[in-house]
Amino acid sequence: MQIVKDEGPITGEQIAEKLNLTRATLRPDLAILTMAGFLDARPRVGYFYAGKSANQLLGEHVRKLMVKDYKSLPIVVKEETSAYDAICTMFLEDVGTLFVVKENKQLAGVVSRKDLLKTAMGKQDLQTIPVSIVMTRMPNIVTCSPDDSLLDAAAKLMRYQVDALPVVRPMEDGDGVEVIGRITKTTITKAFVELGQHTDV
């Protein structure tokens, strides 16, 4: 195993030579290790190590987590909702980001606690200013799809420095997208805690 790890791909003949054994003596042992999946053998190439490192397994496992399995429910408000009512919805639902939708449920914008705090600092009346004035609007919204990996969604949260992504799918009439969920830094923190709790012992 060590020889193959260090020097693979290597032929059975070369391994036998290193161990001062005949190829015939070695053949059944190599057969077992190959059948067990620890070594892989290719004709005219030789044996190579098939095992995966812990880091590799880790990365593979993380990359398999999907947005659709982790997304939570989106909290939405209408475009004409006042900033005041949006803040109330945020407190009632205990979320940091609201999605703003049109009558037909098409995604129109995203409004964060930060956007609303900025508005609250201004001179305007929160009761009369509609959320559509404050929100980030399409096409400037970073979104993800249910079939994206959770890793891609997490990378977008970091790259675009946002707290939440709407999970979207194309509208049935083909115009714009519909919000079907949300992925936030809380979602990712929860997934991280789950990873650390894997023990299988």
Q: CB of 173: closest distance to a second copy in angstroms?
A: 34
Task: Please tell me whether residue 120 binds a second copy under the rule CB under 8 A.
Answer: yes
Task: Please tell me whether residue 142 binds a second copy under the rule CB under 8 A.
Answer: no
Task: Please tell me whether residue 192 binds a second copy under the rule CB under 8 A.
Answer: yes
How far lies 175's CA from each of 106, 107, 169, 178, 194, in Å? 8, 10, 11, 9, 37
| Candidate residues 16, 151, 171, 180; the one interacting with a second copy per rule CB under 8 A | 151
| Candidate residues 10, 87, 131, 135; the one interacting with a second copy per rule CB under 8 A | 87
Q: Name the segment binding a second copy (CB under 8 A); options: 8-16, 48-56, 66-74, 131-139.
A: 48-56
**Residue 107 structure tokens:** 């995604």
SS3 (DSSP) at 121? helix
CB under 8 Å to 168, separation ≥6 — which residues?
107, 143, 144, 145, 177, 178, 179, 180
**Residue 21 structure tokens:** 């054994």
SS3 (DSSP) at 149? strand
Task: Please tell me whether residue 24 binds a second copy under the rule CB under 8 A.
Answer: no
* φ, ψ for residue 32, nearest 5 deg: -65, -45
Task: Please tell me whether residue 189 binds a second copy under the rule CB under 8 A.
Answer: yes
| Candidate residues 21, 45, 57, 133; the one interacting with a second copy per rule CB under 8 A | 57
Q: What gap in Å lies between CA 166 and CA 137, rounded to an integer?
A: 12
Q: Name the site residues for a second copy (rule: CB under 8 A).
A: 1, 28-29, 32-33, 36, 38, 53-63, 84, 87, 90-91, 94, 96, 113-114, 116-118, 120-121, 126, 149, 151, 154-155, 157-158, 161, 163, 184-186, 188-193, 195-201
